């Protein structure tokens, strides 16, 4: 009996995009719940592809993880925590063997968050296995369930389940919004914001000095915690309105306030730290000067790292791309810029 169980194999493949947050998730409560809502769009070129093979077994769960063809044991603690957390939703994860093979379409250490795309792709693939094991399940909203599982792997991953724009965290104007999963808000977004470009200035490659997980923890006793929660809720409402009305100026002002506030929170944490590099600030100055001089819709955001995301409508590519190549490429490590855009399908 045990033999036949052990040779039962199930396979699934899935892909998911990375995303860039405009209103930032920063600080957690409970198990991977955000202290404030966040809003992001998914990126079309920055994808994770994941294949999994599940073999039934009797005692406990064992995992093998391969990243771009090579065993990567350093990721196992994160995967063990993740599978423990979601085993109540996907009971097959209590026993057996799981082989996970993952790869990214974007360069290593480019500053694009790979945990969002990889955890979203993994959650999708795991649900496929569950459906093979128990056809007809899940009978709940499948995307919301995948988003909920992805959140338990990495918070921002819950937004990567959707193409286009996603909202994670409760908001009074969106009844289906939740701290447990993200929702798609594309139907409420003006066409002006469905062709956005994201040109990522890779100011510094390599691992960050302080991980986002530690950064979130430092919000627990942060002196500006309550103020930050208030600000993020207001910015979420204002951003949703700007997205709905197609108002780029309002969008840009929220985008920059959020980016700089995130880094301000890091600089005022205890211990305080900064992830920005001198070139990050130089790039911001050049972007503002060029924008003000030419009166063009262009803004920037920054994740938990030194790299600058320049956000602008596709209609202004012809003016902005040459500016980036001439004035911003010299600020990037090895002159690297990743020209990406919103994923809409």
SS3 readout for the chain: CHHHHHCCEEEEEEEEEEEEEEECCCCEECCCEECCCEEEEEEEEEEEEEEEEEECCCCCEEEEEEECCEECHHHHHHHHHHHHHHCCCCHHHHCEEEEEEEEECCCCCCCCCHHHHHHHHHHHHHHHHHHHHCCCCCCCCHHHHHHHHHHHHCHHHHHHHCCCEEEECCECCECCCCCCCEEECHHHCCHHHCCEEEEEECCCCCCCCCCHHHHHHCCCCCCCHHHHHHHHHHHHHHHHHHHHHCCHHHHHHHHHHHHHHHHHHHHCCCCCCCCCCHHHHHHHHHHHHHHHHHCCCCEEEECCCCCEEEEEEHHHHHHHHHHHHHHHHHHCHHHCEEEEEECCC
CB 152 within 8 A of CB 31: yes
Q: Does 21 bind ligand DP6 (CB under 6 A)?
A: yes
Look at the alpha carbons of 19, 301, 277, 78 in this order and tell me if their dihedral is positive or negative: negative
Stretch that binds ligand DP6, among 177-185, 208-216, 263-271, 325-333 (CB under 6 A): 208-216
Stretch that binds ligand DP6, among 9-17, 200-208, 209-217, 269-277 (CB under 6 A): 209-217
Stretch that binds ligand DP6, among 192-200, 212-220, 292-300, 316-324 (CB under 6 A): 212-220
Stretch that binds ligand DP6, among 18-26, 173-181, 225-233, 321-329 (CB under 6 A): 18-26
Return the residues of window 59-98 that contact ligand DP6 according to CB under 6 A.
none
CB of 117 to ligand DP6, least distance (A): 11
Whichever of 40 and 199 has its CB closer to ligand DP6, that residue is 40
CB of 51 to ligand DP6, least distance (A): 22
Whichever of 120 and 320 has its CB closer to ligand DP6, that residue is 120
Q: Does 38 bind ligand DP6 (CB under 6 A)?
A: yes
Q: Does 41 bind ligand DP6 (CB under 6 A)?
A: no
The binding track of 244-273 with respect to ligand DP6, each residue x by CB under 6 A or -, is ------------------x-----------
Q: Exactly one of 304, 308, 320, 342 binds ligand DP6 (CB under 6 A); which one?
A: 304
CB of 64 to ligand DP6, least distance (A): 22
Q: Does 16 bind ligand DP6 (CB under 6 A)?
A: no
Q: Does 165 bind ligand DP6 (CB under 6 A)?
A: no
Q: Does 274 bind ligand DP6 (CB under 6 A)?
A: no
CB of 168 to ligand DP6, least distance (A): 8
Q: Does 216 bind ligand DP6 (CB under 6 A)?
A: yes
Pairing of strands 33-34, 28-29: antiparallel
Q: Does 307 bind ligand DP6 (CB under 6 A)?
A: no
CA separation for the pair 297, 277 (Å, rounded): 25
Q: Does 212 bind ligand DP6 (CB under 6 A)?
A: yes
Binding site for ligand DP6 (CB under 6 A): 21, 24-25, 32, 38, 113, 115, 154-156, 212-213, 216, 262, 303-304
């Amino acid at each position: 009996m045990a033999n036949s169980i052990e040779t039962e194999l199930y396979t699934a493949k899935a892909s998911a995009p990375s995303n860039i947050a405009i209103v930032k998730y920063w600080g957690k409560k409970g198990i991977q719940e955000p202290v404030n809502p966040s809003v992001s769009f998914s990126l079309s070129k920055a994808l994770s592809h994941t294949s999994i093979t599940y073999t039934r077994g009797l005692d406990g769960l064992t995992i093998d993880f391969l990243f771009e063809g090579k065993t990567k044991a350093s990721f196992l603690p994160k995967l063990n925590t993740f599978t423990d957390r979601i085993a109540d939703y996907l009971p097959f994860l209590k026993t057996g063997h799981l082989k996970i093979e993952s790869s990214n379409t974007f360069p290593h250490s480019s500053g694009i968050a790979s945990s969002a795309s990889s955890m979203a792709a993994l959650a999708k693939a795991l649900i496929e296995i569950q459906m093979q094991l128990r056809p007809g399940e899940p009978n709940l909203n499948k995307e919301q369930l995948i988003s909920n599982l992805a959140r338990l792997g990495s918070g921002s991953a819950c937004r990567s389940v959707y193409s286009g724009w996603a909202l994670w965290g409760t908001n009074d104007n969106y009844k289906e919004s939740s701290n447990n999963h993200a929702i798609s808000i594309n139907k409420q977004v003006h066409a002006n914001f469905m062709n956005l470009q994201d040109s990522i200035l890779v100011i510094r490659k390599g691992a960050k000095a302080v991980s986002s997980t530690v950064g979130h923890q430092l919000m627990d006793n942060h002196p500006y915690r309550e103020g930050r929660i208030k600000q993020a809720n207001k910015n979420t409402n204002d951003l949703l309105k700007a997205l709905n009305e197609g108002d780029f100026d309002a969008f840009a002002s929220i985008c920059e306030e959020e980016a700089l506030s995130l880094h301000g929170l890091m600089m005022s944490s205890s211990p305080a730290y900064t992830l920005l590099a001198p070139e990050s600030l130089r790039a911001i100055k050049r972007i503002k000067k060029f924008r003000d001089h030419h009166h063009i819709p262009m803004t920037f955001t920054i994740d938990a790292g030194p790299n600058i995301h320049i956000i602008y409508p596709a209609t202004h590519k012809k003016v902005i791309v040459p500016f980036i190549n001439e004035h911003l490429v010299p600020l990037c490590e090895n002159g690297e810029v990743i020209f990406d855009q919103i994923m809409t399908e």
